[in-house]
Amino acid sequence: MFISKKALAVSPSSTLAINSKFKALKAQGLDAVGFGTGEPDFDTPENIKNAAKAALDNGFTKYTPASGTPELKKAVCYKLKRDNGLDYEPSQIVISNGAKHSLMNVFTAICDPGDEVIIPAPYWVSYTELVRLADGVPVIVHTTEESGFKLNPDDFEKAITPKTRAIIVNSPSNPNGMVYSAEDLKAIADVALRHGLYIVSDEVYEHLVYDGHTHTSIASFGPEYKEATIVVNAVSKTYAMTGWRIGYTACSGPLAKAMANIQSHSTSNPNSIAQAAATEALMGDLSAVAEMRKAFIERRNYMYKRINAMEGVSCTLPEGAFYIMMNISKLKGKTFYGKRVETSDDFADIFLEKALVAVVPCSGFGNDDFIRWSYATSMESIVKGMDRLEKFLKGEL
Ligand code: PMP
Ligand code: GLU
């Protein structure tokens, strides 16, 4: 059967694949614990669910404009002003089926075949595949654990070629919770501006920042920064709305129009009822987010302490988002339960098989010395996961 080269080159999302494996084990009645997919374990707040119910009852069930309802675009503008100090017009906003879809639109709109997009590693697993799907070429620039996984502006500049079109900046970061300071961001943005690049700023975790760290949008540095930046965001993480599939972009008018055109032929509008719910989410207060943040901090602190007290593994303290990257480099070459660990995939496989704990190998995130734990899960599961890790490492399972 013929399958295009492009399709064959795409690997499945490891975050979603781990989740499927975990659910299959649960379905067999096994006491599996999942730290795979990053999605808040909290339910969507009541006021948001009520807005969806009202939309349904009022027959808001038809096509909306392909790039989103005027109400939701206005709500996005309101949010961007309130949270980020940014002034956008509704015509500069495109509402899509989650931030993942927004990113697909972005790369389709800015990449000609062979255009390069710089991605600092470790990175969220879908960036490379999304760029490839848009006929672009992902160019990886590595960062180190010692530098807090922060991109060095000189390393970024060295990776720029005449084909470079954009850089992706993701702060707070998936997979390691790194948060750039405003100064860090400005230094990166200055390099991008000097070379006429787009800055794709993925801000989906903006409200999940801890210990006095703050989130700054690159677009807020001034008009020329705003012109170069494509802000990508979603209601998925902030409002525990991963299943509703609403994300959005804010960018210059002509680019927004190009993305709206693409979307008008690919998916048409995102779900009308989910758009009504997202409007309520963005216009409402952030009290539910504050509650989630409190729980995330408690979980993160617990995991950080437990992991660093164990022999053979370690992690740095995440400053935001809900992920911990655990360094397993010292375990490589060792044998666990008759199986040798050579890669992060090996570790994740043996750990799942023996301890029934699902974690994501960071092979797909651009650094094979790590595995990722999502702490967007209950404290009970976290305690279980940490206890099992301890036993697993001691060979006591
Ligand atoms: N960007 C990052 C950094 C993410 O972790 C995710 C997680 N899914 C997304 C984008 C996509 O979000 P959404 O669920 O809104 O598509
Ligand atoms: N972004 C989340 C994660 O990294 C959700 C799954 C996905 O879309 O990749 O786990």
What is the secondary structure of 324-386 as a DSSP string? Answer: EEEE-GGGTT-EETTEE--SHHHHHHHHHHHH-EE-EEGGGGT-TTEEEEE--S-HHHHHHHH
Domains 5-43+288-394 and 46-283 share a fold: no
- 5-43+288-394 belongs to CATH 3.90.1150.10: yes
Per-residue tens of pLDDT for the chain, all 397 residues: 999 999 998 888 888 888 888 889 999 999 999 999 889 999 999 999 999 999 999 999 999 999 999 999 999 999 999 999 999 999 999 999 999 999 999 999 999 999 999 999 999 999 999 999 999 999 999 999 999 999 999 999 999 999 999 999 999 999 999 999 999 999 999 999 999 999 999 999 999 999 999 999 999 999 999 999 999 999 999 999 999 999 999 999 999 999 999 999 999 999 999 999 999 999 988 888 899 999 999 999 999 999 999 999 999 999 999 999 999 999 999 999 999 999 999 999 999 999 999 999 999 999 999 999 999 999 999 999 999 999 999 999 9
Instruction: Name the pTM for this structure.
Output: 0.96
Q: Which CATH architecture has domain 46-283?
A: 3-Layer(aba) Sandwich (3.40)
Q: How far apart are CA 29 and CA 82, in angstroms?
A: 46
Q: Which of 266, 4, 11 is nearest to 129 (CA)?
A: 11
Sign of CA dihedral 168, 246, 216, 376: negative
Whether residue 125 has its Cβ less than 6 Å from ligand 1: no
Side-chain-facing half-sphere of 190: CA atoms under 13 Å: 9
Quick one: which ligand is closest to 321's CA? Answer: 1
Q: How far is the CA of 205 from the centre of ligand 1 (A)?
A: 9
Domain assignments of the chain as residue spans, ordered by start: 5-43+288-394, 46-283
Give the Cβ contact number of residue 237 at 10 Å.
25
Q: How far is the CA of 191 from the centre of ligand 2 (A)?
A: 29
Contact criterion met (CB below 8 Å) for 94 and 260: yes
Sign of CA dihedral 290, 84, 108, 246: positive
Residue nearest to atom 12 of ligand 1 (CA): 99
Quick one: which ligand is closest to 205's CA? Answer: 1
Q: How far is the CA of 147 from the centre of ligand 2 (A)?
A: 25
DSSP string of 176-197?
A: T-----HHHHHHHHHHHHHTT-
Q: Which atom of ligand 2 is nearest to the CA of 124?
A: 4
